[in-house]
Chains A and B, each alone.
Chain A
Amino acid sequence: MQHPLTATDERTAEPPAAAAPLLEIDSLHTRFDTADGEVRAVDGVSLTVRAGRTLCVVGESGCGKSIMARSVLQLVEPPGKIVSGSIRWNHGESGPVDTTALEPDGEQIRRIRGNEIGMVFQEPMASLSPMYTIGAQLTEAILLHRDVTPDEARQIGIDLLTQVGIPQPEGRFDAYPFQLSGGMCQRVMIAIALSCDPALLIADEPTTALDVTTQARILDLLKDLQRHNGMAMMFITHDLGVVAEIADDVTVMYLGQAVEHGTVEQIFTTPKHPYTQALLGSLPTLEDTTHRRPLTAIRGMVPHPQNRPTGCPFWTRCDAAIGGVCDVEEPPESPFDNGHRAACHRYSHPDGGGSVPLPAPAVRGHATDRSGRGQAEGAPVLEVRNLTKQYTVSGGMFRRNKGTVHAVSDVSLTIRPGETLGLVGESGCGKTTLGRSIARLVDASSGEVLFRDRDGTQVDLAALRGAALRRYRTRVRVIFQDPFSSLNPRMTVEQIVGEPLRANGMARGSTLTDQVAEMLRKVGIQPEYMSRYPHAFSGGQRQRLNIARALITEPELVIADEPVSALDVSVRAQILNLLSDLQDELGLTYLFISHDLSVVEHVSDRVAVMYMGRIIEEGPADALFGAPQHPYTQALLDAVPIPDPFARPERSSTVPDELPDPMNPPAGCSFHTRCTFADSDHGCSTTLPALTRVDEDHDAACHRSSDLTLQGITRTREIPEAS
């Protein structure tokens, strides 16, 4: 390795000013000239990355963080263009250079790209060409900048693959990207980025497309590599948990501007900018398990850069905005202790008062004591018995059956009236198929879905068809994941939301219009917007419409399938609060499906964890999160990034990120291939463990649940009060 190790393990002890600035961005403006006008994607960002440190740039989608990162290497594609500002790179062999002044795709910038600054992208699979082996693409990068023979490059490549944790690197060297998992591809991308020992690594949402256990492994890898190589890192993310876990310094971006800079501790303990404060407040966190705290949502959403408000970009959503000031002038940066800076009139303007007032208490209703409602009483609304759904996978020239995938295997669960059952698992675990089988959008292969009718008799929804089934479609409703594709773009809001009533002959004419208007009001959409088409609404608003459509029939059970995973943090909080308010108001029962443990923990009374089509653990939320009984649950909990820089996990166990082939599930416990506790004495690899009672109302399917003591969430932290 060419560069001496400069960073120490004691990262947090070092004050930010001590390390030399490696990359200095000064009032960068990057714009896009489109047919509909100019879009100011990056609008005057200044920030500094210091040698050996990690700067996290955090912000919601559309805030320009990715374009900013690409501007550093002049990678913005037309019609995007850097219009002003400078990007000073202080590492070049020829001394400091301004990369914006270099000829695009000229020799100088190309020497910096990949050689001095490496870059990793969000979609690992798509970032590698499918036409060449990963080895070819890796050695290409090495040969571009290093004076080695192809044979040497191959050896260096294999070493790099080993370094980034790819098993059997010699074999994988000749594999194509599509033969590897997303996590493996990201490791390859990291290997390529590190191939020439860069002084700076720019990582643009490198873990967003990955599952949480894989994300944890990639974050650990990046931390290790950085510690080892002493490089600096600019890490772009929207996830404050990831920021807390990996950052030394943080820049918060909003609408193309940097609104706050500080060390990770400063940002998390004394956030200054109202946006930063609101972002932190809108996070569901994994620790408070007894009280369901409403989230402090940020009103509205990030405006499109074309409709950028004048003055402070945030004032339209800011509760602390000063009329006549914030909407007129752009705020200057105000300095605080140790380089902490924020751009807010509250600190700089004479009328600001020097602090941001606490948000009005009215904003977020009442805290619900969950312990009181944890054990919902009454006969279950829904009982699922031995539900199985298998798909035949066919392919090839003759469309032969290649195999069978058990998307859902022998699942049983009950949902009691008024409770929220959270269903959690990583992508491909079958949670969505399970939800859809219950909603009869998918026909189960076998098993029963027993729904308790109003007269108390149980009806097997899985056995109904035609008109008999349609009757129950108004009683069991679905909130879909994708706010864009789930609303028919060719129908108006009234038609969409009123469709369940119309299709079932429940209302018509003005009654129907009135009902739709009432429902829209309940979900926070102005009824006047009834004649609009979905394209007129943002993601968060569309999700409200989705909810309105689901609830308009006054259902007993609502299956919410990842209802917030497509939304930004601040909007996500709005929707979660809305769902919980409506549950209280209408006495709803939820089956809440999500891959996000902190969201599930926030909303659920009971939680079921799925892995490879089976429920492997089920129990009350606090019990399951506090004392998990299945190693997989522990691994999941362990992997979730906690938005608290003082609770950086030293992960006790990291599971390998390669899932077994769903067409050839492993014998015995399906998790044994990744389980750190699996051993042959207990028959983990031979016998399928049954879901057995381990505690009151708490089941787990693990051979070793009785002799293992697993770690739940033990970390606690005070939420910083906004000051």
Chain B
Amino acid sequence: MLRYITRRLLILIPTLAAISVVTFIVIQLPPGDYLTTRIAQLSAQGDGSLSAQELERLTQRYGLDQPVYVQYWTWISNILFHGDFGDSFVYGRPVGALLAERLPLTILLSVLTLLFIWAVSFPIGVYSAMRQYSVGDYTFTFFGYLGLAVPNFLIALVLMWVSLQYFGTSVGGLFSPEYRDAPWSMPKFGDLLAHLWIPVVIWGTAGTAANIRVLRANLLDELRKPYVTAARARGMKRGLLTIKYPVRVAMNPFFSTIGWILPGLIAADAITSQVLNLNTTGPLLLDALLAQDMYLAGSVLLISALLVVIGTLISDLALAWLDPRVRLRY
């Protein structure tokens, strides 16, 4: 097991390196470099131009007068050794600070969504497999398809519209206006919870639907395996047996949700976050991309890729820990 973990960690290094290169390429993609964009932006604001001194400082900072590979090295070493992700010119602040502000809420949301998905899809998946072709199974299956077919942002839009139309309130954001700038307190926390469930449910739908499908299909396969009959033949109760044997195997895909839910929420559901006006990293990425604020965009991309890798690692380790076939193969 230790060898497995070590190897699994070692393989991270080239993957991460490759990801950083791709991110850097993405950063470099828009025409012109950071400086020209910055100058264009400043002049658009009617702010004239940068001082020669400032120009020099920025050129130095990003190594803009150097070859591309040196620029890459400057960028990545600043991140690695100084935690310096560069500056966002949209927000006019260091990228690192922006991320630090928004990451905790984002991660909280991710974890809650993950728990929601597990809590909902597990019983439904098991039920659907055990009662294959029952009315309940058909109903859940249909809603599963629906959950996969409706884009999250559309659900968000409809929810927003309905609540505005019929309750006259906005469900967007994570706090009601009166708490937005208030210090942390119990009522503020309660207000947060009152708002949190909406993004959690919206994000959860697609994930839940996918999970139910996978769990149902896997469990149906497992239920037909000879070891189920063998366990029945030694007198085990059906319910206990199902949970202990086939469900245990069929649950494996649950762990792989860890792999995509974390990064998914940080970037993939940016659009929903934008619609719901959430203070997470998603809208940050969107703003950055729309404004071609590439250091910010690249950083969010880098971090979400990093989280995919970490998420996959965690899910693989969880799998290895729980499944002796994986654990003992290495």
* Physical contact A–B (CB less than 8 Å): yes
**A73: interface (CB < 8 Å):** yes
Chain B residues near A324: list those with CB within 8 A: none
Of residues 97 through 125 on chain A, the ones whose CB sits less than 8 Å from some CB of chain B are: 105, 110-115, 118-119, 121-123
Chain B nearest CB, measured from A65 CB (Å): 16
Chain B residues near A145: list those with CB within 8 A: 235
**A75: interface (CB < 8 Å):** yes
Assembly CA distance A627 to B325 (angstroms): 45
**A609: interface (CB < 8 Å):** no
**Contact between chains at A127 and B11 (CB < 8 Å):** no
Could you say which of B7, B232, B233, B325 contacts A176, with CB atoms under 8 Å apart? B325
**Contact between chains at A121 and B325 (CB < 8 Å):** no
Task: List the one stretch of B44-52, B182-190, B221-229 in contact with chain A.
Answer: B221-229
Chain A nearest CB, measured from B141 CB (Å): 19
Could you say which of B226, B323, B328 contacts A121, with CB atoms under 8 Å apart? B226
Of residues 236 through 265 on chain B, the ones whose CB sits less than 8 Å from some CB of chain A are: 236-238, 245, 248-249
**B330: interface (CB < 8 Å):** yes
Chain B residues near A118: list those with CB within 8 A: 233-234
**Contact between chains at B236 and A119 (CB < 8 Å):** no
Assembly CA distance A189 to B235 (angstroms): 14
Q: Which residue of B lies closest to A117 (CB)?
A: B233
**B92: interface (CB < 8 Å):** no
Chain B nearest CB, measured from A110 CB (Å): 4
**Contact between chains at A75 and B324 (CB < 8 Å):** no
Chain A residues near B224: list those with CB within 8 A: 77
**Contact between chains at A75 and B229 (CB < 8 Å):** yes
Of residues 34 through 87 on chain A, the ones whose CB sits less than 8 Å from some CB of chain B are: 70, 73, 75, 77
Of residues 308 through 330 on chain B, the ones whose CB sits less than 8 Å from some CB of chain A are: 323-325, 328-330
**Contact between chains at B232 and A75 (CB < 8 Å):** yes
Assembly CA distance A75 to B228 (angstroms): 10
Chain B residues near A189: list those with CB within 8 A: 230
Assembly CA distance A201 to B72 (angstroms): 72
**Contact between chains at B230 and A397 (CB < 8 Å):** no
**Contact between chains at A176 and B328 (CB < 8 Å):** yes
**Contact between chains at B226 and A113 (CB < 8 Å):** no
Q: Which residue of B lies closest to A198 (CB)?
A: B234
Of residues 187 through 218 on chain A, the ones whose CB sits less than 8 Å from some CB of chain B are: 189, 192-193, 195
**Contact between chains at A115 and B225 (CB < 8 Å):** no
Could you say which of A110, A113, A141, A398 contacts B7, with CB atoms under 8 Å apart? A398
Could you say which of A75, A129, A178, A195 contacts B233, with CB atoms under 8 Å apart? A75
Chain A residues near B93: list those with CB within 8 A: none
**B231: interface (CB < 8 Å):** yes
Assembly CA distance A176 to B236 (angstroms): 20
Of residues 1 through 25 on chain B, the ones whose CB sits less than 8 Å from some CB of chain A are: 4, 7-8, 11
Q: Which residue of B lies closest to A192 (CB)?
A: B234
Chain A nearest CB, measured from B313 CB (Å): 12
**Contact between chains at A121 and B230 (CB < 8 Å):** yes
* Binary contact track B49-93/A, C-beta < 8 Å → 1, others 0: 000000000000000000000000000000000000000000000
A128 and B227 in contact (CB under 8 A), knowing A114-B234, A192-B234?
Answer: yes
Chain B residues near A178: list those with CB within 8 A: 325, 328
**How many chain-A residues does the 8 Å CB contact rule pick out?**
40
* Binary contact track B188-229/A, C-beta < 8 Å → 1, others 0: 000000000000000000000000000000000000111101
Could you say which of B8, B233, B324 contacts A73, with CB atoms under 8 Å apart? B233
Q: Which residue of B lies closest to A112 (CB)?
A: B235
**Contact between chains at A126 and B225 (CB < 8 Å):** yes
A397 and B11 in contact (CB under 8 A), knowing A126-B227, A130-B325, A145-B235?
Answer: yes
A397 and B330 in contact (CB under 8 A), knowing A105-B232, A113-B235?
Answer: yes
Of residues 117 through 159 on chain A, the ones whose CB sits less than 8 Å from some CB of chain B are: 118-119, 121-123, 126-133, 137, 140-141, 144-145
Could you say which of B236, B248, B325 contacts A144, with CB atoms under 8 Å apart? B236
**Contact between chains at A127 and B236 (CB < 8 Å):** no
Could you say which of B7, B231, B236 contacts A397, with CB atoms under 8 Å apart? B7
Q: Which residue of B lies closest to A73 (CB)?
A: B233
Assembly CA distance A195 to B230 (angstroms): 14
Assembly CA distance A113 to B236 (angstroms): 8
Chain A residues near B229: list those with CB within 8 A: 70, 75, 77, 121, 127
Assembly CA distance A404 to B156 (angstroms): 58
Chain A residues near B245: list those with CB within 8 A: 129, 131-132
Chain A nearest CB, measured from B197 CB (Å): 35
Chain A residues near B249: list those with CB within 8 A: 129-131
**Contact between chains at B234 and A144 (CB < 8 Å):** yes
**Contact between chains at B235 and A129 (CB < 8 Å):** no
**Contact between chains at B233 and A115 (CB < 8 Å):** no
**Contact between chains at A126 and B235 (CB < 8 Å):** no
* B residues adjacent to A (C-beta < 8 A): 4, 7-8, 11, 224-227, 229-238, 245, 248-249, 323-325, 328-330
Ordered by A's residue number, 26 sampled pairs between the chains whose C-beta atoms are within 8 Å are: A73-B233, A75-B233, A77-B224, A112-B235, A113-B233, A113-B234, A113-B235, A114-B233, A114-B234, A115-B235, A121-B230, A121-B233, A122-B226, A126-B225, A127-B230, A129-B227, A129-B231, A129-B249, A130-B249, A131-B249, A137-B231, A141-B234, A141-B235, A144-B234, A192-B230, A397-B11
Please give 10 more A-B residue pairs, beta carbons under 8 A apart, in addition to A114-B234, A119-B230, A397-B4: A111-B235, A118-B233, A119-B234, A129-B231, A129-B245, A144-B236, A176-B325, A192-B234, A397-B11, A397-B330
- Nearest first, the 8 A-B pairs at minimum CB distance are A114-B234, A114-B235, A113-B235, A127-B230, A119-B233, A126-B226, A110-B235, A141-B234
